[in-house]
Amino acid sequence: MYWLEHAWLGTHVEPGVVLEVAGDGRIAALRTQVTAPPPGAEPLRGLTLPGLANAHSHAFHRALRSTVQVGSGTFWTWREIMYGVAHKLTPDTYFALARAVYAEMALAGITNVGEFHYLHHAPGGTPYADPNAMGEALIEAAAAAGIRITLLDTAYLASGILDARRGKPLDAHQLRFSDGTADAWAERASALKPRAHALIGAAVHSVRAVPAGQLATVARWAEEHRAPLHVHLSEQTAENDACQAAHGRTPAQLLADHGVLGPRTTGVHHTHLTDADIALIGSSATGTCMCPTTERDLADGIGPAAGLQRAGSPLSLGSDSHAVIDLLEEARAMELDERLRSRTRGHWTANALLSAATADGHAALGLPDAGRLEPGALADFTTIALDSVRTAGPPPRLGAETAVFAASAADVRHTVVGGRHLVRDGAHTLVPDVPAALAASIAAVRG
């Protein structure tokens, strides 16, 4: 049982809330107007939110932080550096790195991560003895760090679009990403099994990495397994140009033609869309995952998130390349980037931005029963200090505004997953020294 000094209940901040946890790790009951901790209740002082959902992650990109800020370049030059790190990873080193990254996420209030996983095989493309060794390493890393994971096992079959039927051959670094065909991908992905803390989903890396004739295989697998399906969509203008040249259609139109879009699907980035694309994505109820800190870091552009939501696309948030891991910053950046683009303020309320970071993010990862402080929901939540140098001053009733527009990951004091206290007073209970774990695991793949 926990006593929440202040709790965000989706529409407002409520003072003095008792939250009872059932034996199955779900919220059994909420009681309001409890002015002091009752006997046996653990007090969480500050503002408690539902656990944050990081809907788009590439865990190994964390090894690139800061090192890719030297000099200039483009997304494509950044990608070459990323390939160098990917080439050095093994199941053991990936477990160590992902465990540290997921622990950093827990310290930031994240209770569930969507891992967009395409690093499947050994360098050169030879499968490991267990063809899912790398995916299993990620699942075990999440367990060791105490958070939930939706492993979005990703089809990656080509290095680009060659023509309407074929993709370009993979380069040397990309060979370990590929199963050769979508059917072979589906066979391998089917061997992955969900467990208490892990769901298995699917992903199309992009229209440049999965030839058009094989898109339907991935979409059909997700439908048959009732699994979430994610896809990088229109992140780069070069991808749009290649798709138009080969197919006479935008990537969004091509994905719609092959059954990829729909309410089970989330498109990541959605940066360079036409008005027709926006209408198509919205009318199909395809979700949009915005990753503002990565999109700005790579100079990709500002996607039309406001227009997409007006068209009917649910919004979620991700930290993607982990330039920073801070879902509050992602929520803030989505609003502030739109202000810069449109030169107007107030596109989303703080409540709406927190919903994108919580309930809507969890739904995009296949957990519609998470991201809310209500009976029956998973007992996953996080508490933000209201007395730090960033958050002190505003009245608690403005806690949502304080969380989104003033707080940062550094203000997270507690994280609870399944009713278990995972981060207590800013310290991770399973990974005692997260900075040391990060430093060691990153050194092992960058040496």
Give the other-Cβ count within 10 Å of 243's Cβ.
23
> Is 269 tagged catalytic?
yes
Residue 447 CA to residue 435 CA, distance in Å, equals: 18
CB 29 within 8 A of CB 374: no
Please identify which of the residues 56, 120, 258, 269 carries the catalytic annotation. Answer: 269
| Edge-first strand listing for the sheet containing 229-233 | 52-57, 110-117, 148-155, 198-204, 229-233, 265-269, 287-290, 315-317
How many Cα neighbours within 13 Å face the side chain of 137?
25
| Residue at token pair 């552009």 | 301
Considering 153, 297, 300, 320, which one is annotated as catalytic?
320
Query: Rounded CA gap, 374 and 8, in Å?
Result: 11
Active-site residue, 320 included: yes
Torsion angles phi and psi, residue 428, rounded to 5: -80, 130
Residues annotated as part of the active site: 269, 320
